[in-house]
Amino acid sequence: MTHAAPGTASTSPPSPEPPRRNFLAEAASYVIGGIVGLVPVAAGLAFFADPILRKKATMRGQSEDGYLSVAKVSDLPKDGTPLRFSIIADKIDSWNLFKQQTVGTVYLRNVEGSVIAFNDVCPHLGCKIDYKSSNKSFFCPCHASAFKLDGSKSNPVPPRDMDALDVRVDPSGAIWVKYQNFKRGVEKQEVL
């Protein structure tokens, strides 16, 4: 056992306090710096992801529920004769804009003041259906599918009737069609 010599004081220095405050301040500055640095990165990511995350706004001029303006009621013969119209719109594909693209083609009829629309793609295998004014019916030249004026099939070749499309007419007389494509070669109408 050792004892300090009488009359002498201990000379060992006081142990330093742990630098807790400094540590907390440094940690806080890293966290804040990190957040501030992430803001522009997140904004950039949101900008680039926006077209991908955007719902179905793929056509300029398209209504939110998917209708496109096609023609005017006054363009249609009043006796119900079908006319074929192309649907033209500017397509938006992620970051690109393709102007004046053909979205599809449809037959429109004015039947006693109500407008009806058919997709002109044959539900058999996808050729374009023609209208034969000589016998007032539709006919597909590829494998002879035939349809009546109301779009119902009139021979066993096509698996289903012509594909009817939803239509609405606005107060100015503009005809809006919800253009859709459907699976071919199947009995049931299935949207692609």
Burial class (CB in 10 A: 0-12, 13-18, 19+), 110: buried
Residue 145 found at the interface with ligand FES (CB under 6 A)? yes
Residue 125 found at the interface with ligand FES (CB under 6 A)? yes
Residue 146 found at the interface with ligand FES (CB under 6 A)? no
Partners of residue 91 on adjacent β-strands: 59, 98
Cβ–Cβ under 8 Å, residues 106 and 116: no
Please pick, from the candidates 87, 111, 149, 157, the single residue that binds ligand FES as defined by CB under 6 A: 157
Please pick, from the candidates 76, 120, 124, 179, the single residue that binds ligand FES as defined by CB under 6 A: 124
Nearer CB in complex with ligand FES: 84/91: 84
Residue 168 found at the interface with ligand FES (CB under 6 A)? no
Separation of CA 40 from chain center: 28
Residue 175 found at the interface with ligand FES (CB under 6 A)? no
Tokens of 73: 């009621």
Torsion angle in degrees (nearest 10) through CA of 143, 144, 145, 147: 160
Binding region for ligand FES (CB under 6 A) out of 21-29, 42-50, 123-131, 169-177: 123-131
Backbone angles phi, psi at 75, to 5 degrees: -75, -15
The residues that touch ligand FES, with contacts defined as CB under 6 A, are 122, 124-127, 140, 142-143, 145, 157
